[in-house]
Structure 1
Amino acid sequence: MKVYGHPLSINVQKVMWLIDELDLSIALEEVDIHHNRHDAQAVAQRCPMRQVPVLEDGSNSVWESHTILRYLVACYGNKMWYPDCAFQRSCYERWMDWCLSSFQPVIKAALFASTPDGSDEGQAKQRAMEQCRYELERVNDALDDQLYLTSDRMTLADIAVGSLIHCLSQQSDWVLPPNVSRWYQQLSDRPGYQRWVMQAASTLPT
């Protein structure tokens, strides 16, 4: 098995972090689909959306980061990662859906959008920052009486949402809410989080 992607992609980081947690031997095949035509063609053969990450498992190609997370725990995880009960699975899956639909887009708009000073885009970025803080408070509330997002055990909810917290922690004008800060410190102690999320810039395939 291998994963096609770039280590600086947050969606790739999620997948590689989970692979580390599951102790799987799956290599990252570094590709640059934006600047390398050969890489772009290789990914296009495996993903009609021409996006990364893509997991290659034998003759099967699995794309979309959260689908890859679900696939990995369904195929290779234990009951902690993939419980038999559909409702128990829904407890982390709802966070995964919320992450993609609500949280990740506002983080992208707040932190990574290019906005000329004094423009309408600058105001949009400010609104995104305010929305991001609002969403963070919802995460903080969920962590009020438990160690992780759904319980006192890590789930895919923590992989999906937790992958985004490091970039927020690096912003000098941001202060993480107290429960989020405590949760982030827990994640920071995990070797996979350190390698694939916190040290992403230096974690390049050799």
Structure 2
Amino acid sequence: MIKILGKATSINVRKVLWCCDELNLPFQREDWGSGFQSTQVPEFLTLNPNALVPVIDDDGFVLWESNSIIRYLANRYGNDNFYPRHPQARACVDQWMDWQATNLNNAWSYAFLSLVRNSPAHQDPQQLAASITGWNKHIGILEQRLQSTGAYVAGDRFTLADIPIGLSVNRWIATPLEHPDYPAVAAYFQRLNDHPGFIRHGNNGTP
């Protein structure tokens, strides 16, 4: 059974939980991170020297970095529909996963810490406004993509890429800011609710 180290409120931990649900993989989760067991202790640092969650232990194979973890799980336990083997189809999935981890995450970081986490260090009005503008701009890129596919981010069927993208859309919707009218994103969000794993680990009241 796969062991997952990390608190369930972490968006990166929820990627792994949702992926396990999609693959019908049994798992055990332990609470690590802020408010729970410290990731700064030697026991955890031996597993991940970056002191970040999630970390998995799959029968002695230890891995960190959420997108690397879900790629590994899809490679080992998934099928061609979920994470395509064809180089071009797989590259499209990877492209959107990497976009979520870099461009999109960087866009929403300040606004999320300000509006949801209420971080005192993230209350500058100009930086907040710039972050909101950037966040909405990147969701607009996703809107254009979903208008093109008419379904999911990598094409006409659900793939591994929809896990990090779907959780990011949930975070955007749940954050109290002015949201532009993006009908394809709204339809996509509703489409994701056909997946029980998304309801459990995405659209569950946690941004």
TM-score, normalised to structure 2, is 0.88
Q: Counterpart of 1:166? A: 170
- CA offset at residue 32 of structure 1? 2.7
**151 and 171 in structure 1: CA distance in 2 versus 1, 3 angstrom threshold:** same
**Alignment partner for residue 193 of structure 1, among 192, 198, 202?**
198
Residue 43 of structure 1 contacts residue 54 of structure 1 at CA under 8 Å; is this kept in 2? no
**42 and 116 in structure 1: CA distance in 2 versus 1, 3 angstrom threshold:** closer
- CA root-mean-square deviation: 2.1
Q: Which runs of 5+ in 1 are unaligned?
A: 202-206
Counterparts of 2:29 and 2:36, CA distance in 1: 18
TM-score, normalised to structure 1, is 0.88
Structural mapping, 1:109-148, within 5 Å: 109-113=110-114, 114=119, 121-145=124-148, 146-148=150-152
Residue 31 of structure 2 contacts residue 37 of structure 2 at CA under 8 Å; is this kept in 1? no
Deviates more, 1:121-130 or 1:16-25: 121-130
Deviation track 1:19-49 (CA, whole Å, cap 9, x = no partner) reads 1011110121122356634874332121121
The residue type paired with residue 136 of structure 1 is: I
Residue 139 of structure 1 contacts residue 180 of structure 1 at CA under 8 Å; is this kept in 2? yes
Structural mapping, 1:1-206, within 5 Å: 1-32=2-33, 36-37=37-38, 40-113=41-114, 114=119, 121-145=124-148, 146-175=150-179, 177-199=182-204
Q: How many equivalent residue pairs? A: 199
Q: SS state of the match for residue 164, structure 1? A: helix
Q: Which runs of 5+ in 2 are unaligned?
A: none
- CA offset at residue 81 of structure 1? 1.8
Identity %: 29
Residue 166 of structure 2 contacts residue 202 of structure 2 at CA under 8 Å; is this kept in 1? no
